[in-house]
Structure 1
């Protein structure tokens, strides 16, 4: 069973996001071992300067580094990342899973930043950068969207009719 970690900067506050994420967690429990780790978002003043934002993102990146599971491939979600179709993500995840069965990779770790994104240093360390869209989404919604895409990829790889 594939092991996936979802590292999220910021907590789900709205009930509807939490319920949607919980639904996909439940569905994914049949096809993979999913761990969701939430890290606190750094507090910033109302109108932060670029230097304040950079310092906060650097602190968040340091917190993320402490939580990255050993022997994993880190995939940072960011707007400048590579766009993939659901089918491409499924193929990529299947290849990673095949590597894990041979002892090459232990798990995938997807990283979603907070409201100001991710520090450049953590993006540079990531094995891959993935973008869901050139559009900007709230990080809470991005979590639900990513969980759905991971679920969809698992269903594609299982050959079910979920993906149309």
Structure 2
């Protein structure tokens, strides 16, 4: 299976880069992983809803350039479905069984995802009702996908 993570913004912090590199290496045993960073837009303080919508739309266009028709798109959204680690593992496994060989996880910028990306999404996933920095979300996502593959393969994982 191929997994593509499409994320808005660059990772600047070394500790996050190191964690992403570590989980990317670990995932190499289980899948082909690709991480795509798209440029984020600067959001002015106290931006109006109109300005925020324009920013989300620009970022959405950049994201959509990397989404192909054969991808099963999972967007990370606060309002998405919350799954346990075991349920995420089952989801990944069942998608593979159904012939979905390319999953794309999409992480939006600091003000969320544009409407066109949300419309293209096949599944909305939430890790929590809390808000996390989108840079940290990349690490959390990779860790959970790695954990999911450990579960799928009946390998031990920390509970």
- In structure 1, runs of 5+ residues without a counterpart are none
Measured at CA, do residues 37 and 6 of structure 1 come closer, stay the same or move farther in structure 2, by a change above 3 Å? same
Task: Tell me the C-alpha RMSD between the 2 structures.
Answer: 1.1
Q: Given the two structures, how large is their TM-score scaled by the length of structure 2? A: 0.95
Superposed, 1:1-164 pairs within 5 Å as: 2-100=1-99, 105-164=100-159
- TM superposition shift of 1:42: 1.2
Moved over 4 A (4+): none
**Whole-angstrom distance in 1 between the partners of 2:69 and 2:22:** 27
**Alignment check: 8 A CA contact 1:83 1:131 kept:** yes
- TM superposition shift of 1:97: 1.3
Give per-residue Cα distances to partners, 1:51-105, cap 9 Å, x unaligned.
11100100111111111134011100010000000001101100111223xxxx2
- In structure 2, runs of 5+ residues without a counterpart are none
SS of aligned partner of 1:20: helix
Aligned length: 159
Q: Given the two structures, how large is their TM-score scaled by the length of structure 1? A: 0.93
Give per-residue Cα distances to partners, 1:119-141, cap 9 Å, x unaligned.
13311220000000011100011
